[in-house]
Structure 1
Amino acid sequence: MQDVRDSIERFYKDERGAVMVLVALGMVVFISMAGLVIDGGREYLERQKIQNALDAAALAGAQELPDTSAATLAALDYASLNGLNPHNLVVFFPSSGMITVECTEDIDMYFLPVLNINQKSVNAIAGAAQDYSPAWASYTLFSGSSTERLQINGNTYYIDGSSHTNDDFKANGSSITITGICDAVGSISVNGSSMSIPHRQAYSSHIELPDYSEEVREQAESAGNVHHTDIHYNGNNVNVEDPIYVEGEVHLNGNNISGCGAILAEEDIHINGNMINNSSSDAICLYSQQDIHVNGNDITISGILYAPNGEIKLNGNNINITGKVIANTISINGNTITIMDDDSALQALPSSGVRLVL
């Protein structure tokens, strides 16, 4: 009988030991699950906090573009104000109008150290860009006057993109092509042979043409690029890293223009000879508060011609423009004129704001 009693007591002692082991294992599992939930939630909140700080930093930096040094300082300042360590940030510029800010931080864990997980690395990135989206930017050829029609006279014109006029549109000649929409607030009249203007939209809506001259002048003054007399550029390289403001006329003769910015003249701009930008990263706008004259043969222009208060006059043969022709009125006379749409030079004008892109 004593042997039976001893066996029963040993059995219960063994069971109590097994239960303790199971309870201990259960506690480890419970703490691990709690750690995954609590520390996982903390990781999510920290990631959101970092993302919000990066968004603010990227937007602040984008407002300083295309000045990358000022944009970097602004982004780092805003990130620091929102609790991020500047040493953990990487600032990058995919283009002259865009900034990205990336951050990697180690987050301390509360419960997961039980599983030998003391920290987790959190990475986030934000990107912002200047917003160049005025209504006129959708067009390759734009005439803002509501009292003078847009008229094209000549042979072999190729416009890769859309056109708009706040009055009537009239084309006379042969081999005139507009690949996009021919848009007019008034009527549309096309006369001639081999005319390819299939997408015609008459009686459209009026579109205002903004004047950016005050903003460009302020930027030029900040950069020390204000000239009080006429400027003549003759066959040399012109670097436009910051806007150039001229209180007079600008004469361009066979120049090579590079950089990102606008050359703004209070009076006329005269273009004679060949003008080519150095690379696809250049963004140039030739901006006149009066008229822009393009005269001659075999002329190549890369960038935006912008005369919101005046007239752009294209006179000659074999004129090639990659960019946009935007003015209050436009006069085109000659043969073999090609205008290829390119939005990249929009960066040369003041943006309408900034927006997140990442």
Structure 2
Amino acid sequence: MASCSGVARIEVVTSRRPPALGRTGHVASRVSTLELLFDLVFVYAVSQVAEAIVEHPTAVVAVQAAITVGVVWWMYDAYSWLTNQAAEQTLVSRLLLLTAMAAFLVMSLALPDAWGRYGLLFGVSYAVVVVIHAGLFIGRGGTSSVRAMLRVGPLNLLAAASLIAAGFVTGPLDWLFWLLPFVFFAISATVARRVGFALGPAHFVERHGAVMIIVFGESIVSVGAGLARHELPAAVIGAIATVAVVAALWWCYFSGDDERAVRVMEHASPPRRASLGVTAFYVDHLVMIVGLIYLASGLHGSLVDALAVAPAAFVWFIAAGVAVFLLGEAAYRVTLGLGFAVWRLVGAVLALATGLVGLAAPVIVQLAVIVVVVVLMLMVEWGTRGRAATG
């Protein structure tokens, strides 16, 4: 989000009241401190999923991880919509948000074995999150948003019921009940597009930027925690490599498009704005988040010795993680009409190809090649943008 020289800006709510939205709802103008506190739970959820992949680095676990993150991200992102529409906080609403935060934490505790013995715990805590979200939205949201939530809320409850059912079964039925929520999500997205949520663009874009910073940061923290258990020279090399890769991807996201994204949202009609909210900020961001989780898992598993050839599974998690992130970034730019997505697609292909490098050379070489690929991609993109601006 933003031009090549931009940096992310995370601002907290001041005493200035946001503009009224009708009934009791207010559109948020900035991210609140309570929302930033809420984000800490998502950090733990991301860490839990990444750790599960490290423990079992297989294709099946990778797919299960993506499905699980998609389910969690739907409701987590739904709270971004909630705080956007119901910015005016009361004691009761704060307590309910903190209760939802506790339910998210319980859900995160269950994540490593959510497809197994803790499936029921995951489903029940998910249902609690859904009920609190619907109650707060209906009680505190603006008129148009309440009308939409009365249609979306029951669909979210059906998704929660499906996850609870998954806790009682195994095998193909387990997969069915985990995938069924996405059908309800798709119907909800259609409802949101038709009815339209009166989203506040500035808060909405900033809110998702804050989440991405947290996911970037979690990648560094989780890898750093693993490196702390190894000898210092190897840990130093691994730490530098991790920061270099994450910083390069951070620059891809925070490279000047945030203000343009806000303008696109501002000029969109409420139904179109809701459509962009679902596509650009749920779907496209989900792809980016999954990519960063794969990357974190690959880094964690391969940087035991940065000067050695890493296990093949972790080599491909690194390559695929960067590639998936760049695909999500390209989709985000296309959805919002921010341009120059083609170079992100080229970067994704080249990033995936670095898996071949990692199979034959030390992991530090693969990471260096990834950094070079991303930096060159950005340089070519900036050059193309500059020529387009002057031409």
Class of the TM-score when normalised by the shorter of the 2 chains? under 0.3
Larger RCO, structures 1/2 (Cα 8 Å, 6+ apart): 2
Whose helix fraction is larger, Structure 1's or Structure 2's? 2
TM score, norm. by length of structure 2: 0.19
Structure exhibiting the larger radius of gyration computed from Cα positions: 1
Which structure has the highest strand share of the two? 1
